[in-house]
Amino acid sequence: MSRGVTSLTRRILTDNTCDCQPAFGYGPNNFSLAGRPAFGEILTAMNKAELRRWAKEVRKSLPLGVLSQELNRHLARFLQEHRASHILLYSAFGSELDPAGLQGLYPASYYLPRASAYQLEVHRLPCKLVKHKYGFWEPAAETPRVEPDLLDAVLVPGLAFDPWGHRLGYGQGFYDRFLARLPPRTLTVGLVAEALLVPELPHDPWDVPVQFLATEQGVRPVGPVASP
């Protein structure tokens, strides 16, 4: 998906004074750009590289601590309703939403992934952690692994998501390969701020969407949504 960057798109990406931030109204029965359809058209015209730059800029201005706390409260209720006992977290880095607080809200067995040979391996917590070259913590290579089939729920990070569960990641494909290995019973939940839910993301045939989206406003299933 290679499209040219318009002058307004460049302004969104480079000018923090531009009044072009998304104002999404996205609930169980609606997804809209709150009167700003032009902004939605700009987003859908961006390629993945441009969207990554935009999403990273938006995340810099978000109150991530507050959003993470709200999101974790909704996640705890959701996981309890689904009786999930084995949950894969992720180690947040940079400006990602942080699911670590979930451990204090919902009693369960928790796990962390480790990147190895272009795949994600699953390790049970607590375990020895080491710092990845990108700055986040992950299980040490020598810690025992478990099979992904054990997991009841997988929490998935992303720069942005769309209503169908398509994810904008960092371009390495780790989670797409991992999600493709999971049995259908495993709950897959994308964690994202409402400000980074976009009308539509470019995606490829090998991209694997998540089943649910969790934001500071709640957890809901993905799928087509009606206009307000």
Please tell me the distance from the alpha carbon of residue 164 to that of residue 228, in angstroms, as a whole number. Answer: 17
Query: Parallel, antiparallel, or unpaired: how do β-strands 167-168 and 160-161 relate?
Result: antiparallel
- Which residues contact residue 136 at a Cβ distance below 8 angstroms, ignoring those fewer than 6 apart? 91, 92, 93
pLDDT per residue, tens digit, the chain (228 aa), is 333 333 333 333 334 333 333 333 323 333 333 334 445 666 767 888 899 999 999 999 999 999 999 999 999 999 999 999 999 999 998 889 999 999 999 999 999 999 988 899 999 999 999 998 877 899 999 999 999 999 999 999 999 999 999 999 886 779 999 999 999 999 999 999 999 999 889 888 888 999 999 999 999 999 865 333
115 within some domain: yes
5 is a domain residue: no
Instruction: Write out the two tokens for 194.
Output: 């409402």
Query: The domain that contains 180 carries what CATH number?
Result: 3.40.50.10420
> Cα–Cα distance between 142 and 129 in angstroms, integer?
10
- Whether 109 is in a domain gets the answer yes
Asked if residue 89 belongs to a domain, the reply is: yes
Let me know if 16 is exposed, middle or buried by CB neighbors in 10 A (0-12, 13-18, 19+): exposed
Work out how many domains the chain is built from and give that number.
1
- Look up residue 16 and give its two tokens: 């923090």
Residue type, 89: L
Which residues span the domain enclosing 102? 64-221
Is 127 a domain residue?
yes
Q: Is residue 152 situated within a structural domain? A: yes
What is the value of pTM for the model shown?
0.81
